[in-house]
Structure 1
Amino acid sequence: MIEVTARRPGARAWLTLVRCEAKMVARDTSGLVVPVALPLLIMVMNASSARDQEVADGLSALDVYVLPLVFTIVIASIGIINMPSFLAYYRRTGVLRRIAVTPASPAMVLAAQMMVSLGQALVGVGVAYAVAVVAFGANPPTHLGVALGVVALATAAMYGVGMVVASVAPTPNAAVAIGLVGFFALGAVGGMFGGTDALPEPVERVGEWLPFGASVEALSAAWAGAPVDASNLVVLVVTAVTGTVAAVALFRWN
C-alpha cells in the first residue's frame, strides 16, 4: 500500500492567498474607503485650528492630540469592523470548511486576511500622516521608536478585539453590527468625540482602561516626548492576549 503525503503549501500558495484577500478587500468599496476617509476628514476638520495651538516644545495640538486620535481610529475601524466581517463571511459561506479538506489550512486564510488588513491600516495611517505633514506642517513624534511600539501594541489590541467579534458573529452583517457598536462604544469613552475631561470622572477612568483610550493616551505621550504611562501599555498587552485566547476558544470554522 502506497502512502501519499500531501505537500504543505509553500510560498506561492501564501502569495496567492494574500493576493486573493487583497482583491476581496479592494472590491469592498465602503470597507476600503471609510477607514481611511473618515479619520482623514476628522483630521482635516480639526487641523486648521489645532496646528496653531502650541502645546510644548514646538509641538502643536495637531501633533499631540489630533494625530494620535486619527491613527487610533484607523487601526480600530479596520481591526474591529472590517477584518471580522470578512472572516464571518468566509465561515458563513463555507469557505473555511472547504479549505479544511485541502492541504491548506483555514488558519492560512485568517493569516492572509490579517496581513492584508494590516497593510490597509498602514496605508491609512501613512496617508493621514502624509496629509498632516504636507498640508498642515505636522511634526514627527519626539520619541519615534516608542510611538512605533505603541502603534504595534494598539494594532495587536484592536485585532484581539476584532478576533473576538469574528468568533461570536454568526453572519457578516452581525459582525459589522457588533463591530460598529464596539468601535463607537470604545471610541466614545476614549476621546473620539471630544476630550475625555468632559466625561464624568467614572466614565473617564473606564475609558483609560480600555484599548481605544489607552492607545490615544500612550501615543500622545510618545509624540510629546513624555513618559508613557505603564498602565496604558498593560491595557494594550492584556487586551491583545485576552482577545487572542478568547478568539481561539470561541472561534468555529463552520
Structure 2
Amino acid sequence: MNTSRKPAPMPLAPTPALPFNPAVLKAELRLFRREPGAHFWILLFPTLLLVILGSIPSFRQPDDSFGGLRPVDAYVPVTVLLGLIVGGLQSMPQTLTGYRERGILRRMSATPVKPSALLTGQMVMYGAAALTSSLLALTVGRLAFDVTLPRQPAGYALALLLTLLAALALGAVISALSRTTKVAGAIGSAVFFPSMFCAGVWMPVQTMPHGLAAAVGYTPFGAAAEALNQAAAGHWPGWGHLAVLVAWIALLTGAAARWFRWE
C-alpha cells in the first residue's frame, strides 16, 4: 500500500487590487450614458457655444483686437478648454462626492475592488468625455467656419493633455474638500466661473490688457489658453506656460492625495 501523499498545494497569494479595473470602468460608462445632463454640458455645450458665436457675421471677420484673427478663430481654443473645465470641476466632483456620501466607497473598501479603482475609472471616463468634446469643437470649427487646425499638433496635444490632468486634479481636490454633493456643487461653481474667465470665455486672452493677461497666465486654464493659442499658430507652446501647468498638476495632485477620504 502506497502511503506517500502528494504535497499540499501552496496557498495562492491574494491578488493585489489594481488601481484600474475594466469592469468598474464599464459600469461607470453604463451609468454615464444614463446622464443626459452630463452629455449636454460636457460633450455638446462647448460646441454649441462655438456654433452660436460663429453664426454672428462680425465674428467671421478679421478683427485687429484679436491680432488680426477672426473672433471665431480665437474662440475655438476657449471651447476646447470649456469641456475640460465642465467635466473636471463640475461633473466628476459631484459624482465622487455622491458615492462617498452614500457610503459606496466605504463598502467597496471591504471588497477585492478597492475605491481607488473607482476613482481611476471616473478620471478615465470624464477625461475621455472631455477630450471627445475638444475634438468635436475642433472638427466643427474646421468644417463649419473654416477654422485652421492647429499648425503644431504635437505641441497642441501636449498642452491639451497637461490641461486635462490639471482639470482632473482640481476636480479631485474639490471632491476631497466636499462632504456632500451640495457642497461639491457650491465649491465647483465657485471655482468654475473664475476658471472660465481665465480660459477666455468672456474675453479671450488675446484681447485682455497686458497686466491681466500676464496674471491670468499663472492660472492653469490661463496658461493652457496661451499654450493652445501658440500651438494653433504653429509655434511650440511656451515652456513657461507648460511649466505652470506641470506645477499646478503636482500641487493639486499632492493636495488631493493629502485630503481625500474614502468615507
Local SS of the residue matching 1:140: coil
Contact 1:6 1:103 in 2 (8 A): no
Q: Give the Cα–Cα distance (whole angstroms) in 2 for the partners of residues 231 and 45 of structure 1.
A: 33
Contact 2:85 2:195 in 1 (8 A): no
Alignment of 1:73-222 (within 5 A): 73-196=82-205, 203-222=212-231
- Note closer, same or farther for the CA distance 1:10–1:246 as it changes in structure 2 (3 Å cut): closer
Q: Give the Cα–Cα distance (whole angstroms) in 1 for the partners of residues 69 and 50 of structure 2.
A: 16
Structure 2 residue 236 is matched with structure 1 residue 231: no
Structure 2 residue 24 is matched with structure 1 residue 14: no
| Residue segments in structure 2 that go unaligned for 5+ positions in a row | 1-9
Q: Deviations over 1:193-225 (max 9, x none)?
A: 113466566544331110111111110110001
Counterpart residue type for residue 119 of structure 1? A
Contact 2:152 2:236 in 1 (8 A): no
State the number of aligned residues: 250
Instruction: After TM superposition, give the deviation of residue 181 of structure 1 in Å.
Output: 1.5
- Note closer, same or farther for the CA distance 1:195–1:137 as it changes in structure 2 (3 Å cut): closer
Name the structure 2 match of 1:32.
39
Q: Give the Cα–Cα distance (whole angstroms) in 2 for the partners of residues 196 and 136 of structure 1.
A: 21
| Residue segments in structure 1 that go unaligned for 5+ positions in a row | none
Counterpart residue type for residue 42 of structure 1? L
TM (normalized to structure 1)? Answer: 0.88
- Coordinate RMSD, CA, aligned: 2.6
Which deviates the most, 106-115 or 230-239? 230-239
* Misfit runs of 4+, over 6 Å: none
Between the two proteins, what is the percent identity of the paired residues? 27
Counterpart residue type for residue 132 of structure 1? G
Q: Give the Cα–Cα distance (whole angstroms) in 1 for the partners of residues 135 and 59 of structure 2.
A: 20
Q: Give the Cα–Cα distance (whole angstroms) in 1 for the partners of residues 17 and 255 of structure 2.
A: 28
Instruction: After TM superposition, give the deviation of residue 229 of structure 1 in Å.
Output: 2.4
Contact 1:8 1:104 in 2 (8 A): no
Instruction: After TM superposition, give the deviation of residue 126 of structure 1 in Å.
Output: 2.1
Instruction: After TM superposition, give the deviation of residue 47 of structure 1 in Å.
Output: 2.1
Which deviates the most, 109-118 or 33-42? 33-42
Q: Who wins on radius of gyration, i.e. which is larger?
A: 2
Q: Deviations over 1:74-120 (max 9, x none)?
A: 11110111111111111111111111111111100000111111121
TM (normalized to structure 2)? Answer: 0.85
Contact 2:224 2:241 in 1 (8 A): yes
- Note closer, same or farther for the CA distance 1:138–1:96 as it changes in structure 2 (3 Å cut): same
Q: Give the Cα–Cα distance (whole angstroms) in 2 for the partners of residues 7 and 198 of structure 1.
A: 56
Q: Give the Cα–Cα distance (whole angstroms) in 2 for the partners of residues 180 and 38 of structure 1.
A: 16
